[in-house]
Structure 1
Amino acid sequence: MSSRIITALLPVLGIAWILDLPARLGMVVITEQYLATVLGVAVLAGFLAAPRNGLWRWPDVAFGVLAMSGWLWLAWNYEGWLLTAHIRGPEKWVPALIAIAGTVEATRRNCGLVLAVLGLIFMAYGFLGWLGPGIFEGAYLRPARYLLYIYSDSNGVPGLVLNVAANQILGFVVFGVVLTAVGGSDAMTRLAMALMGHRRGGPAKVAILASSLFGTLSGSTVANVMSTGVVTIPMMKRAGFPSRHAAAIEAVASNGGQIAPPVMGATAFVIAEFLQVGYADVVVAAFLPAAFYYYLLYRQVDRFAAAHGIMGEPRENLPRVGGALAGAWPLIAPLGVLIWFLFVLGYSPGKAALYSAISALALNLIRTPREMLSLRFFADILARSGRTLIPVILVSAVAGIVIGTINVTGLGFALTLALGKIAAAGGVLALLAATATLAIILGVGMPTTGVYVVISVLLAPALVQAGVAQMSAHLFIFYFGLLSMLTPPVAIASYAAASIAGSDMWQTGVTGIKLAITAYLLPFVFALNPALVWQGTWHEIAVSVATVGVAGFLLAEVLANPRAYGGRVRRLGAGVLALAIGATTAVIPPASTAALIIAILGVVAAIFIARREGTHTDGALRLKPEGNTE
């Protein structure tokens, strides 16, 4: 019970702060004081959420209480310490050491070993970086000065990333939990069934729509898979999709929820803060890449279904569209409120999300007043919100260690210099490839936000210096951090879906890569052609959209239909042609005549192929519903 209360305290503190309750009560609270308090509670909640058993139980809890006390000590003394920053006595650095040690341990338990070790590596560099070789020699800092910089400076742990997590992300976590509690998830599934269930390969298209919408409610790919996959994966298998395909479709669709506007994953808020732009700017920039991501996935599913004769569900077995829309108001109305506050009135994302959550609760009060007046109902919302927030807050704290160390030691300048040499030797493409590889490798054991923060701080300046537009550089890093969820050997999203489908995990991971091929290729194009993130003239954007769209159209047939284009050689040639068309605007300026001609010819060819598909049936083979599913 005590664990549940501590966990629920996290969203309570955040809601009070976002709604300006301290100021309304005449209290003066500095932002860093609030952040230190939230982090202290999150650390203790992290210990309680992942406890040791047996004799270690109470010493373990005591360590969590001490770590929380270290952060509360900072919050209590922060205002006075602003005037005595030059004094670094044990009354400061001893609580700092305990607080940071507890934070790293709580992170290890709730977010994995990799992120905790990464935090310790950067801490070690902060203390010993002055012994580093060559350009990696860091500035010498007295241990107490470095420790207190990480502990209390606004460029350290209580800095930008933790501020985003404890304000904007917190608001959206509460919003997502409330939407689920008032029936938004069920309404979303019924709506997806009504709209897509009757189409060719209908269950898979239901999975795509439902999982993309569920990204609105959940910032976690795995949570998305486990929530919608238990419904959609069995449906796909019954329709005739092989187990590995059913699992991979769900994993890829769920992973895309974090890049799908208008409500993207937690990382989008961090991008906005890093670039000092509005959240709406990030949403607009992400729109076309996300649209292509889901377009290629949808078309691959459609062509696979056509090749294997997989039909949709009979309409009489599905909800009617009108009824599903009428019953979807617990999802649609709060989203409309969110968009109004966020994009029309210009409210901060966290406050807009909270007001939308309040509107969802108010609407549900009309429908089920008895349930809404239950104390248990609200307690469950707060507890579930807090449990979701624990890893988010802890990841943000470790990100603060990384950013603070890079700032105070000069490591960022050294890395930019080294990567600049790589770009000079191998070109910007080599630098992009190195960045993508590093993001995927780091993503094996880290949440997407953690990967993005680390890679963007280390590598984004070098990408920008090499000529990549700022927004393109940060979205590039975001995409490849996200792709670690789908990339074997540790494809967490694919493996979670495979466990539901009962499929081979490696085969599911490989199938997921094929289905998500757009996400692996498109970032290289928009890194070299910012028109795909809405940074260009309408002519440049139109040509870019046409070439990438045609490439996706052709590539989906090649990947999904083993008999596409009549043979292996012709199929390979079509694949190479599709990639060449898609890469056109990365090589040739999109405003050039050559790019326009390629776009027009590509569109004409796509129209011709689409007409041929409409007059030829390639569905002689139909897989057995429950037979050879592998």
Structure 2
Amino acid sequence: MSQVENKKTQEDLSGEVITVQRELSNTLEKVVYFVGIITSLFHLWVNTVGIMPEIQRNALHYSFLLFLGYLLYPMSKKHPEKTLKIDIILAVLSFLVGVYLVLFENALHARNEVPILPDLIAAAIAIVLLIEITRRTSGLVIPILAAFFLGYALYFGKYFSGLWNFPGVNIQRLLYRMYFAPDGIFGTIATISSTFVFLFVLFGAFLIKSGAGDFIIKLAVAIMGRSIGGPAKMAVFASGLMGSVSGSAVANTVGTGSITIPMMKKTGFSPKFAAAVEAAASTGGQLMPPIMGAGAFIMSQWTQIPYLKIVAVSFIPAIMYFLTVAFFVHLRAKKIGLKPLPKEEIPKISEVLKEGWQFFIPIIVLMGFLMYGYTPTYSACAGIAAIVVSSWFNKKTRMGIKDILDGLALGAKNMVTTGIILLCSGIVIGIVLLVGMGIKFSMLIQSLSGGSVLLTIIFIALASLILGMGLPVTASYIVLAVLAAPALTMLGVSLLAAHMVIFWYSQDANVTPPVCLAAYSAAGIAGSKPLETGFEAWKLAKGLYIIPLLFVYTPLLFEGPIINVIETVISATLGLYAFVVFFEGYQLRQLNIIERIIFGVVAYLLLFPHRFLTIIGFAGFIALILLQKFTIKRAENAG
């Protein structure tokens, strides 16, 4: 990760990308703080007792986020102070074009949906401003993608032949669809952003502000510190818990990694391995319920699968992923002969729980409301209230008025990058729906795969990797869900399994070179080489590629008898362990090449969805372990 040398800039790690913010003057800082509070209060009001048409709520969501975005993210990263006046003008203009829709939507309906010139001007300005702020917050790829799709629909689609030919639409119709219609920038994706995503980001901000982050780290040390490779296992454990709150791999990496990576290095792990463990574990944080990043809310909204069901079926696969990373840590620690942490550095679990037991209350409230049938939006609001109330149970964590206001401001600020990415994704999704590109792309994948489910999944994995080189995780999932999910469902894969496969594969860009933000962020902390760290993280995150196959070929997502689910979990977990042994070349001792190959075969048999092969694999696994113990004992006796 490159180091920003300019003292007037800082890294924003609240979203899914690393961007440079300007250092605000006291006046502007107060403006951002105040507007952030108003933004969060507006979202709390409109998602609980407030009544407002969906498109108008989304337009104000746009206004608030872009206003904050233009103040926080300068036009020029090298000279942010030179464009400040322009950015203030753009911030105000962004706010006004959102408010314009609220004020004049009814007039448009009164004209039977016929836009007039001011409507079209406001629409054009809204699109241009959104694309520009997206460039500032997430780089060039998403704006270029949005511009390409707009150009395709307007002009050059007619120059394509065959399946991809599109005659084009006029500029008036396009502006109307993007600004006023429910499938534009204020449509479905904006709804998800202004409801579920915003409130869960706010929930995470309140948890962090209340001191939950420190509690999670201490709890991880207390639980994992006594085991071999404890600091690395602690990183896996802490990242799973923190990821459940933050929903961001990069924020996870920096937040927990600043503590765990130095501890891993101190106990004997190489900087490269320490950084890779943190990156791989933090990537899994977005797979861990109850929050799981923005993609889970989008999945629920599009598929109409209850969010609670998505959360419920995601627990076991997420735990299996973290176990895979922990297996690598355990075997590497034994391989290089590491010892547990000194006792004096490990806090007692009872003392940690005594100080921070109240942090479990908001999670219990959140899950309780979800299980009782309340919407994720209402549940998140209840969880936020529970954070404030539960903080009063401990003098050290008690939140006063200032802390609550800080939490409101932090939540809005943390939402800027993710919210803008989602809004700009609305352009892409709107054009895809307008030109029917989703069906065309699915037909192309089916043609290339020859109707093979496995080949289709491989193509989707490759597409996610390519998209992930330039798109944040959420945007990658959105694009693939629209373009590729129909290809899987047409081949008989269940709707839940198809979207879960895409959701998991959309995470791989965090740890897969050449562009892997989580790994590069960890490398910056560890002082290791970024690309080498990326490859090491890619190795440790192998569960990210294997487990989604189980969604399709096994009943792991509880799409079958419970006994078959249990069998799958046991055999697949053993298979993942055997796979890690094969990669590390170590189990109870160093393995020779033949033993490694046999472990690889056993891993395949345990993971293959066939009961007879699973039994053979299980027998082979036991035999290998017993053989190793026998040879070790014989060597000790001979010595």
Map of 2:180 onto structure 1: 152
Structure 2 Cα separation of the partners of residues 433 and 283 of structure 1:
25
Gaps in structure 1 of 5+ consecutive residues: 24-28, 586-594, 621-630
> 5 Å matches for 1:326-345?
326-343=354-371, 345=372
- Equivalent residues in 2 for 1:71-470, closer than 5 Å: 71-128=98-155, 129-343=157-371, 345-368=372-395, 372-375=399-402, 377-424=403-450, 427-470=452-495
Q: Is the 8 A contact 1:126 1:405 kept in 2?
A: yes
Deviation at 1:298, TM superposition (A): 1.1
Residue in 2 aligned with 1:6? 35
Alpha-carbon displacement from aligned partner over 1:145-202 (angstroms, at most 9, x marks no partner): 1111111111221112211111111111111111111111111111111111011111
Q: 1: distance between equivalents of 2:585 and 2:113?
A: 68
Match of 1:429, as an amino acid? L
**Would the aligned equivalents of 2:253 and 2:279 in 1 still touch at CA under 8 Å?**
yes
Paired residues of 1:139 and 1:410 also in contact (CA < 8 A): no
Q: Describe the shift of the 1:130–1:89 C-alpha distance in structure 2 as closer, same or farther (beyond 3 A).
A: farther
Identity over the aligned pairs, expressed in percent? 29
Query: Per the alignment, in what secondary structure is the counterpart of residue 367 of structure 1?
Result: coil
The answer as to whether partners of 1:287 and 1:533 remain within 8 angstroms in 2 is: no
State the distance in 2 between where 1:613 and 1:200 align. Answer: 20
Q: Quote the offset at 1:512 in angstroms.
A: 0.8
> Which whole-Å CA distance do the structure 2 matches of 1:501 and 1:369 have between them?
31
* SS of residue in 2 equivalent to 1:484: helix
The residue type paired with residue 392 of structure 2 is L
Displacement of 1:326 after TM fit? 1.9
Compared CA separation, residues 613 and 265, structure 1 to 2 (3 A): farther
- Deviation of 1:269 after TM superposition, in Å, equals 0.9
Instruction: Count the aligned residue pairs.
Output: 599
State the TM-score, normalizing by the size of structure 1. 0.90
The separation in 1 between residues aligned to 2:575 and 2:611, in whole angstroms, is 15
Per the alignment, residue 559 of structure 1 pairs with 583
1:37 aligns with one of 60, 76, 80: 60
Report the Cα offset of residue 458 of structure 1: 1.0
1:372 is paired with a residue whose SS is coil
Q: Structure 1: which 4+ aligned runs deviate by more than 4 Å?
A: 562-565, 607-618
SS of the aligned residue for 2:556 comes to helix
State TM-score, norm by structure 2: 0.89
CA distance 1:292–1:85, shift in 2 (3 Å): farther
For residue 528 of structure 2, give the secondary structure of its aligned residue in structure 1: coil
From the superposition, tell whether residues 93 and 614 of structure 1 become closer, same or farther in structure 2 (CA, over 3 Å). Answer: farther
Change (3 A) 1:289 1:372: closer
* Larger deviation, residues 128-137 vs 191-200: 128-137
For residues 582-617 of structure 1, the C-alpha deviation after alignment (integer angstroms, 9 at most, x for no partner) is 1x11xxxxxxxxx22322333344445556777887
Contact 1:46/1:107, CA 8 A, preserved across alignment: no
Give yes or no for contact 2:59–2:186 (8 Å, CA) kept in 1.
yes
CA distance in 1, matches of 2:509, 2:521: 14
For residues 617 and 230 of structure 1, the distance between their equivalents in structure 2, rounded to whole angstroms, comes to 39
Give the aligned residue type for 1:101. Answer: V
The code of the aligned residue for 1:61 comes to I
Q: What amino acid does structure 2 have at the position aligned with 1:449? A: T
* Corresponding residue of 2:10: none
Residue of structure 1 in register with 2:4 after alignment: none
Matched, 1:51 2:74: yes
Deviations 1:296-326 (A, max 9, x none): 1111211111122112113343111111222
**What is the CA–CA distance in structure 2 between the aligned matches of 1:41 and 1:182, rounded to whole Å?**
25
Distance 1:617 1:478, change over 3 A: farther
Is 1:119–1:402's contact at 8 Å kept on the other side of the alignment? yes
Are residues 1:602 and 2:617 paired? Answer: yes
User: What is the Cα deviation at residue 139 of structure 1?
Assistant: 4.8
- Counterpart of 2:9? none
What do the CA deviations read for 1:6-25 (whole angstroms, capped 9, x no partner)?
333322221111122x34xx
Q: 1:615 to 1:45 in 2, by over 3 A?
A: farther
SS of the aligned residue for 1:153 comes to coil
Change (3 A) 1:274 1:617: farther
User: 1:457-536 alignment to 2 at 5 Å?
Assistant: 457-527=482-552, 529-536=553-560
Question: RMSD over aligned Cα, in angstroms?
Answer: 2.2
Contact map agreement 2:222 2:346 (CA 8 A) in 1: yes
SS of 1:215 mapped into structure 2: helix
Corresponding letter in the other structure for 1:327: E
Report the CA distance between 1:261 and its aligned residue.
Answer: 2.1
Report the equivalent of 1:538. Answer: 562
Q: Which amino acid aligns with 1:450?
A: A
